[in-house]
Amino acid sequence: MEITIKEFVRGAQEAQGVTVIIDVFRAFSTACYAFDNGIKRLINVASPEEAFALRDKLGAEAIIAGEQNEMKPEGFDLGNSPTEMLTGRLEGKTMIHCTTAGTNGIVNAAGAGGVFGAGLVNAGAMASYISMLNPDKVTLVAMGYRAVDSAEEDLLCARYIRDLLMGHERDVSSEIEALRKGSGRRFFEPANITFSPPTDFFLCTDLNRFNFVLRAVMTAPGQADIMRIDINH
């Protein structure tokens, strides 16, 4: 199995084989908590304009969640926050998800041979699923901060999945703890509390909390349905 780690939207565009788009803070963490809290359907889109148009088409059952440059855009129902997924009323809803990095990575990986979204919360499940598939090539794409700057948490997650695929399970607890004073320190800044609360940091770094993967199925240009696939050991 050939495993490659890439970054940003370009990495998604260049990806080959089974491809995992990684966004720990916060897109795919948010998606996992949304599924765990009862959403019926999750759709990734690349822009707010596409999100609004799709909500108009789908009607009352649809809500929009996400962010642009971290903050919830005007007109969105929910932000890109795992905390909001736990406290919101999501049961039976279709959630349209639009973010600066994660969902953009998904819709730009159309040339890959199977696309998935992951964070630390389902990294172990992702590695287990890839092992079952046993593909020749795997590309792990760390989307980074706003898809332009390398992000410690995404690269950590990519390395963790790679190591599991290579048969090495290592203790990353100290590296996760270090994120609190590194790339995760923004969650603890008072100015960010309304859209990026401290609880998001702890929810996003709850390693292997979920035993399912998020598989993307491209349904239209710039749009993908995200399917929850549970892992049975």
pLDDT tens string 79-132: 999 999 998 889 999 999 999 999 999 999 988 889 999 999 999 999 999 999
> Prior bond to 180 cis, omega within 30?
no
pTM: 0.96
Q: What confidence tens digit (pLDDT) does each residue in 201-211 have?
A: 999 999 999 99
Cβ-based neighbours of 56, under 8 Å, separated by 6 or more: none
**In contact, 94 and 83? CB cutoff 8 Å:** no
**Structural domains of the chain ordered from first start:** 2-228 (3.90.1560.10)
pLDDT of residue 110: 81
